[in-house]
Structure 1
Amino acid sequence: MDWAGVLQYWPFVIGLLVTGICSGIAAGLLGIGGGAIIVPALSTALSILGFDSDVVQHVAVGTSLAIIIPTGVMSARSHNKRGALDGVTLRLWVPFIVAGTLIGGLAAAFLSGDALRIVFAVMAFVIAANIVLGFQTRLMGHLRGSAPTHRISAFVVGFISALMGIGGGSLSVPTLVAFGARMHAAVGTSAAIGVAIAVAGTIGYIASGWGVVGVPPLSLGYVNLPALVLVAGLAALFAPLGATIAHRLEQQTLKYVFAAFLVFVGLNMLWEVING
């Protein structure tokens, strides 16, 4: 490959570096694992490079889940140092989160790229509306002491998170708040839950994408290794900064930042579908 061939990838590399920094801060700030930034960014970058739109979205989601593993670990550690991680809830949720995520990751192979984008956008709007209006608390608040409700919620969060390519914070944070957790504790516990989602989801996307034709070079199934290394490295470094910012904000402010962020991401996904 000549210099011209090498240079054409620099915008992609720079975009991945910026994505890593932003997703890391978002992971620590909102407990979301950064997937809401990583998925649209990777999808756009890979589309610009000319890969098939269906393959692009699956690779973006699968790679996002793999990237969330180190990001979630760093974010969870930072929150744990501040006493914002609920071990009892974590032990209750993790087995059912893993089951839901594995099934969701395998089911994604049967959905088109646009179907995954629509799932992402619709869920982002629903979650944002719930954060602002608080209808989930009214519907589920009285069930906060029910272990079966926690387990069912964990399974659903894992399944949907696998289709969206997120660490589950967008779903688990408001759910934990509805069950009575304070916002900071919900964000911290969600970061740890996101690690379980990311590990299970990554396995699912590697399996479902194994042998698929048209994926970018240096990919394991639907997980692209260059994007994983570049974004994950910076995201893990910047996640503690996001956690520090989160603990300096009022809980109400944190909720509105979360909601606005999700609306923006949902609109971006719908725009991709319309212009696809």
Structure 2
Amino acid sequence: MESTLWLFAMCLVLGSVVGLLAGLLGIGGGLLVVPALVWLLPQAGIPNEMVMHIALATSLASIVLTSGSSARNHLRLGNVDVKAVKMLAPGIVLGGLGGSVIAELVPAALLPKIFAAIVLFLAVQMLASIRLSTQERTLPSTTKCVCSGGVIGVISSLAGIGGGSLTVPYLNWHGLEMRRAIGSASLAGAIIAVAGMLGFIAAGVGDEALPAMSVGYVYLPALVGIVSTSVLTTRYGAALVSKMPTPTLKKIFAVFLLFISFKMFIG
């Protein structure tokens, strides 16, 4: 019980940072939650062979509320392109479910490296896009958006993230101004997280080796700690978006991704 309370307290701190980043960058916080839980869970007595799956599932569950809160704030500020989200939604739902199935089949030792490689690619992509103009591009056809949403959903669920790190560059590349891309990614991230979370819950149901207070692979003490503070701090991140220039936002986003990738590669 003492280790569980310690984990809960640490997740309260983690959630406050996650909420701020969710509002500022349009991410659900999985890029921070997953590596943090990979470090925290073993210290709370969680078996190593289950740590990555529990971290991914709990991250996605926290994103449902964190991204949902962030999306609500961005909607209020007029930063969400609902049409773009609707075009991506069918693909990201199917992809989110598919990613959770793939994660169950991949050896646990490989998941952190896959996560790190995905994040490194996203960081390089974001840095390369800083000087590129996207104002004349438009969203592709509905079919292409559904397919793109599927890819975003699979990768996001496999990495335990809400997809903002994929959705923001995708929407920005196709003509959405950075603030609207971030706001739209928050809403899309909540949708991805619901699909991925349900997949991980189904995959873990019936596993008697899971720790107490688990729903499938979702570990409730960590989840409650994270969302208790994250839903309160998203508003401050969303407010900052309206005050910062697009190149600055992209640089912050890219540096954040590089840091997370490096930490996961070195274990």
Which TM class, normalised by the smaller chain length? over 0.9
Tell me the residue number matched to 1:94: 89
8 Å contact from structure 2 (residues 30, 161) kept in 1: yes
Q: Which amino acid in structure 1 is aligned with residue 22 of structure 2?
A: A
Tell me the residue number matched to 1:211: 206
Tell me the residue number matched to 2:129: 134
8 Å contact from structure 2 (residues 138, 175) kept in 1: no
**TM-superposed deviation, 1:213:** 4.1
CA distance in 2, matches of 1:41, 1:216: 18
8 Å contact from structure 1 (residues 143, 149) kept in 2: no
Pick one of 205, 229, 235 that aligns with 1:234: 229
Pick one of 21, 36, 39 that aligns with 2:34: 39
Q: Could you say what the CA RMSD is over the residues aligned between the two structures, in angstroms?
A: 1.9
8 Å contact from structure 1 (residues 53, 113) kept in 2: no
**TM-superposed deviation, 1:144:** 3.5
| Aligned counterparts, 1:72-111, within 5 A | 72-111=67-106
Tell me the residue number matched to 2:109: 114
| 1:259 and 2:238 matched | no
CA distance in 2, matches of 1:152, 1:113: 27
| 1:146 and 2:141 matched | yes
Q: Which amino acid in structure 2 is aligned with residue 266 of structure 1?
A: S
| TM-score calculated relative to the size of structure 1 | 0.91
8 Å contact from structure 1 (residues 101, 201) kept in 2: yes
Q: Which amino acid in structure 2 is aligned with residue 196 of structure 1?
A: I
Count of residues in Structure 1 that have an aligned counterpart in Structure 2: 265
| 1:68 and 2:66 matched | no
Pick one of 17, 23, 30 that aligns with 1:28: 23
**TM-superposed deviation, 1:8:** 4.1
**TM-superposed deviation, 1:245:** 1.4
Tell me the residue number matched to 1:16: 11
Q: What is the percent sequence identity of the aligned residues?
A: 38
**TM-superposed deviation, 1:266:** 0.8
CA distance in 2, matches of 1:24, 1:83: 19
* Structure 2 residue runs without a partner (length 5+): none
Map Cα deviations across residues 38-59 of structure 1 (whole Å, 9 max, x no partner): 1111111112234222310100
| TM-score calculated relative to the size of structure 2 | 0.94
**TM-superposed deviation, 1:212:** 2.5
Tell me the residue number matched to 2:156: 161
Tell me the residue number matched to 1:224: 219
* Structure 1 residue runs without a partner (length 5+): 1-5
Tell me the residue number matched to 2:265: 270
Pick one of 156, 164, 172 that aligns with 2:167: 172
